Amino acid sequence: MKIAVLSGKGGTGKTTVSASLAASIDGCQYVDCDVEEPNGAIFLKPDITQSISVNVPVPEVDASKCNGCGNCGKACQFHAIAVIKGKVLLFPEICHHCGACLIACPQGAIHEVDRTIGVIEISNSNTFLQGRLNIGEPISIPIIRELKKRLRNDVAVVLDCSPGASCTVVQSVDGCDYCILVTEPTPFGLHDLKIAVQLIKKMGIPFGVVVNKATADNGSIQEYCAENYIEVLMEIPFSQEIAQAYSNGILPVQNNEQWKQKFAELYQKVERGAVK
Ligand code: SF4
Ligand code: SF4
Percentage of the chain beyond pLDDT 90 is: 78
CA of 174 to the centre of ligand 1 (A): 25
Report the candidate in 153, 212, 157, 145 with the shortest Cα–Cα distance to residue 181.
Answer: 212
The pLDDT score that the predictor gives to residue 164 is 85
Among the bound ligands, name the one nearest to the CA of residue 65.
2
Average pLDDT over residues 114-128: 96
CB 7 within 8 A of CB 197: no
Which ligand 2 atom sits closest to the C-alpha of 81? 6
Write down the domain spans for the chain: 2-46+127-273, 56-115
What is the band of 245 on the pLDDT scale with cuts at 50, 70, 90? confident
- Whole-angstrom distance, CA of residue 180 vs CA of residue 4: 6
Average pLDDT over residues 3-30: 91
Same fold flag, 2-46+127-273 and 56-115 = no
Please say whether the structural domain 56-115 has been given the CATH code 1.10.569.10.
no
Judge if pTM exceeds 0.75: yes
**pLDDT > 80? residue 274:** no
Average pLDDT over residues 215-224: 82
**pLDDT > 90? residue 243:** no
Average pLDDT over residues 236-253: 86
Average pLDDT over residues 268-275: 85
One of 2.30.110.10, 3.40.50.620, 3.40.630.30, 3.40.50.300 is the CATH number of 2-46+127-273, namely 3.40.50.300
Which ligand 1 atom sits closest to the C-alpha of 79? 8
- Whole-angstrom distance, CA of residue 56 vs CA of residue 110: 16
The pLDDT score that the predictor gives to residue 242 is 83
Helix (H) or strand (E) holding 272: helix 257-273
**pLDDT > 90? residue 229:** yes
CB 158 within 8 A of CB 147: no
Which ligand 2 atom sits closest to the C-alpha of 65? 3
Q: Which residues touch 3 (CB under 8 Å, ≥6 apart)?
A: 21, 156, 157, 158, 159, 176, 177, 178, 179, 180, 270, 274
CB 115 within 8 A of CB 53: no
**pLDDT > 80? residue 205:** yes
**pLDDT > 70? residue 275:** no
Residue owning the nearest CA to atom 6 of ligand 1: 101
> Is 164's C-beta closer than 6 angstroms to any atom of ligand 2?
no
Report the candidate in 145, 166, 128 with the shortest Cα–Cα distance to residue 56.
Answer: 145
User: What is the average pLDDT score of the chain?
Assistant: 93
pLDDT 10s digits, 35-71: 999 999 999 999 999 999 999 999 999 999 999 999 9
Is 32 or 186 the better-scoring residue by pLDDT?
Answer: 32
CA of 74 to the centre of ligand 1 (A): 10
